[in-house]
Amino acid sequence: MHLITLPAKYEQKMSIRETEKAIKFVKDAFQRNFVKNFGFERVSAPLFVWSKSGINDDLNGVERPVRFDILEQGGREAEIVHSLAKWKRTALKKYGFRNGEGLYTDMNAIRRDDKCDNTHSIYVDQWDWEMVITKEQRTPEFLKMVVQRIVGAIVDTLEETKKAFPAVDLTLGREVKFVTTQELLDEFPNLDAHSRETEIAKRYGTVFLMNIGGALSDGKPHDGRAPDYDDWSLNGDILFYDEVLGESLEISSMGIRVDAESLKRQLEIAGATDRLSHSYHRDVMSGELPLTIGGGIGQSRLCMLLLQKAHVGEVQVSLWPDEMRSECEKTGIRLL
C-alpha cells in the first residue's frame, strides 16, 4: 500500500463541479496577485528539451526523465522537463530582461519516478518564475523579502477565494517564520526531515525553511537539491501547516541561483564536475548568464491547500495506483 493519509471524518466542502470552478478561480486570482506584487511578464515555455543538453532539472540526480526520439530530426533524443529551473535563466538572457525584471510561465512535467501520496503525483504543474538580480542582492535579506511577497500573494488569493466560495473557512498567516535546516535539526534531533517540518509548521503556520541541499551536522542534507541551480546557502521552501492532513505542505521551492563560485563548489561536493562541459554550466562559469532568483509554485498544491482538500488528485487529473484509488473512495476522497 502506498503511504497516504486518510483523515478521519473527512467532509467534502464542494461538489466536483464546484471544485472545478474553484480551481480556476484560485489559479486566476493567484496569477493576478503574483503579477501585482512582482510585475513579471508571462512567457511561453517548453514541455521538452534536448537530452544531454544540461538544461533539464536533474532534481536529486537519480530520477529518470521521459525520453523519446524525434523521427524528422534523425532520431535525436529529447526529454520531458522535470522543471524549468535552468531554462528560465537562459530565457532571461535571450529575451533581454534587465535587473529587477522577471518572467513566469506554466510548467507541466512528468516525473515518472515520484512516489504517489497525498501531495505527490507523477504529473507536476506549477508556476515557474525567474528574476534578474544584482550581485549585491545575493543575500538572505533579499531572499526573505521575495518570500514575503509570494506569501502575500497567496494570502490575498485565499481571502478572495473565501468571498467567492463561502464553504472555504481556512486561515493562513502573513507573518513568515524564517528558520534554517540546521536550526531545525538542532531543535528536533530525533525526528526525520518531514516530521521536523511538520512540527515547525504546526507551531508557526507559515514557514520558510532555509539552506537546503548541503550536509548538516549529522552528515546528511535535509533534503535533496540539484547542485547546479540553487545556491544551497541562499534557498529554501515555503511551508504551510495543512490542518486537513495534520502535516506541513510545501507550496514553493525557490532560491537565489548559483554563481560561478557556488556552482563549482556544489558540483565538487556532488561529484558532478563533468557537468561543467555542458553549455549552460559553461555560461554560468563565464558570467554569460545573468544572476537570478527563481523558483516554482505548485498549482495543484496551492489549490489543494486553499480549497482544503486531502489529496492532490482532488484538484488535478493524474494516474494513481489502484489500491490508492480504492482506499480514497472508501474515505470519501474523490479523485478526478
Q: Which residues are catalytic?
A: 57, 111, 126, 237, 250, 253
Three-state secondary structure call for residue 218: coil
What is the separation of C-alpha 212 from the centre of its chain, rounded to a whole number of angstroms?
A: 13
Q: Which residues are 49's β-sheet partners? A: 79
Q: Pairing between strand 102-110 and 41-42?
A: parallel
- Cα 275 from chain centre: 23
**Residue 330 in grid coordinates:** 472508501
Residue the block writes with cell 536533474: 58
Give the whole-angstrom CA distance, residue 241 versus residue 251: 10
Q: Exposed, middle or buried: residue 322 (CB in 10 Å: 0-12, 13-18, 19+)? A: exposed
Q: Residue 44 burial by CB count (10 A; 0-12/13-18/19+): exposed, middle or buried?
A: exposed
Cβ–Cβ under 8 Å, residues 79 and 111: no
The angle formed by the CA atoms of residues 313, 36 and 231, to the nearest 5 degrees, is: 70
Say what the alpha-carbon torsion angle 2, 111, 250, 31 is, to the nearest 10 degrees: -130
Question: What gap in Å lies between CA 71 and CA 74, rounded to an integer?
Answer: 6
Rounded Cα distance between 80 and 56, Å, is: 8
Q: What is the 3 state secondary structure string of 146-177? A: HHHHHHHHHHHHHHHHHHHCCCCCCCCCCCCE
